[in-house]
Amino acid sequence: MALLSPRPGSSLAALIEMSGFLFGATAMFAAMYETQAILPTIGRDFGTTPSETGLTVSLVVVAVGVAAWIWGPVSDRIGRRRSLILASWLLAIPTLAGAFAPNFETFLACRVLQGVCMPGLLIVGVPLVIETYVPRYGGRVMGFYIGSLVAGGLVGRVGVSLLTSISSWRWAIAIITVLPVSAAIVLGRSLPPERVRPARSGHGGAAKLLALLRNPALMSAAVTGCGAFFGFIAIYTYAAYRLEAPPFNLSPTVTGLVFLLWLLGGVAPLMGKLAEQRGWRKVAAGAMVIGAAGVALTLTQSLVLVIIGLGMVILAAFTSQTAAALGQGTSTETDKGLASAIYFSMYYAAGSIAGYVPGLAWERFGWGGVASAALGSYALGLVAAVGGALLMRRIGTGRASISLPLERIESEEST
């Protein structure tokens, strides 16, 4: 009976309760990065340059950042559950259409439409976790959510790469369509009705936005997340080009398997608990240092060291993402959907730049140019995390980092 009845408040109980939501997040993230591991293949098919092909990642990220301003406030108004289900159904349409796009321009348009749908899952996910699961299970549940994105990243990269090797990239992407369709059905059956409407302030739209933009806790989390995400996207968008070029000369299939390093993202729940105990800023700052060290290793001519470096970048990405998401999700008690929209619009703006600009650096300077861009972004993230803690201490906000039962975190960071 113990196996059938997990202990209330346990990690197993949390995973069971969150399973439908986590599957939806996995499906969304698989679609987001379905092209990343096969960029050289797509480029050869359409006859596009690396920087042009990289737009299949960066334009999705731009669309996510723009559409966040729609989905965040909408979820505050209609509720998280309805937003999640609607977005899942809508995401399936451009995903399938992209698989049969006749030219590169049409394919890019489909990718943009995918990005417009994704915030209904991604942007809404953090407020849902903070409002529904953190009060009962603590910061580890944010790690479970980030872990589901890890799983989606594996499917979108390794799965698509393997399917491409045995069929074609078009059929691989077509098969991915099954995920958002399944997610919409699962979410509809598993997510319980919301007991209360999301908390909203009484201010008008412009006043709400200005108040949140002046929120130092939110802005610190956002810039920290931006720095980490830029470095991650820069490295992993162009890693395939690095590994398929001399001196490594790996095949596309083997290069795709390198994305199994995403399994290291399974540390996210542990990082969520660590952020609960030590404070999200300290955890995020440590992640920036790890990421920068990993980038340095990718500059070597040793395949083993390069793989280790890529693994360290993964660890940094999901550690910092978990920590910063906790900081963002608890930076305000009201208008959490709008706060999430601000955070992720900045976050994905950084990612969109990282999907394109390092491609230009690759074309002119090789991998050293890509690595330099990533190192600069990690430095920015580190300054935001450390500087944010100093600013919070100076202005003495006394704001908690995480809602009950984790009220002590921000005050502990200031001591």
Tell me, yes or no, whether 3 lies in a domain. no
Tell me, yes or no, whether 141 lies in a domain. yes
Of 32, 22, 24, 27, residue with least CA distance to 229: 32
Of 167, 147, 173, residue with least CA distance to 37: 173
**pLDDT score, position 196:** 56
Q: Give the pTM.
A: 0.72
Give the residue-averaged pLDDT of 140-156. 85
Tell me, yes or no, whether 5 lies in a domain. no
**pLDDT score, position 297:** 97
**pLDDT score, position 178:** 95
Q: Characterize 365-399 residue by residue with b for buried, 16 or more Cβ atoms within 10 angstroms of its Cβ, and e for exposed.
A: eebebbbbbbbebbebbbebbbebbeebeeeebeb
**pLDDT score, position 411:** 41
**pLDDT score, position 322:** 87
Tell me, yes or no, whether 200 lies in a domain. no
Lowest mean pLDDT among 8-12, 104-108, 166-170, 336-340: 8-12
Most confident range, picked from 173-177, 238-242, 262-266: 173-177
Looking at residue 262, its amino acid is W
Distance CA 336, CA 327 (A): 12
**pLDDT score, position 124:** 84
Give the residue-averaged pLDDT of 275-282. 84
Q: What mean pLDDT value characterizes the chain?
A: 83
**pLDDT score, position 413:** 40
Of 128, 107, 101, 191, residue with least CA distance to 340: 128
What CATH number did the domain enclosing 167 receive?
1.20.1250.20
**pLDDT score, position 410:** 42
Most confident range, picked from 9-13, 69-73, 329-333: 69-73
Tell me, yes or no, whether 6 lies in a domain. no
**Tens of pLDDT, residues 89-106:** 999 999 999 999 999 999
Total of domains in the chain: 1
Better pLDDT: 16 or 116: 116
Give the residue-averaged pLDDT of 96-118. 95
Lowest mean pLDDT among 35-39, 170-174, 330-334, 379-383: 330-334
pLDDT tier, 227 (very low <50, low <70, confident <90, very high otherwise): very high
The domain in which residue 241 lies consists of 11-188+205-413
**pLDDT score, position 136:** 81
Tell me, yes or no, whether 4 lies in a domain. no
pLDDT tier, 408 (very low <50, low <70, confident <90, very high otherwise): very low
**pLDDT score, position 45:** 94
Give the residue-averaged pLDDT of 31-39. 88
Residue count (the chain): 415
Looking at residue 380, its amino acid is L
pLDDT tier, 296 (very low <50, low <70, confident <90, very high otherwise): very high
**pLDDT score, position 195:** 61
Give the residue-averaged pLDDT of 141-146. 85
pLDDT tier, 51 (very low <50, low <70, confident <90, very high otherwise): confident
**pLDDT score, position 403:** 36
Tell me, yes or no, whether 160 lies in a domain. yes
Tell me, yes or no, whether 369 lies in a domain. yes
Find all residues with CB under 8 Å of 278, minimum gap 6, and list them: none
CA atoms within 13 A on the CB side of 33: 28
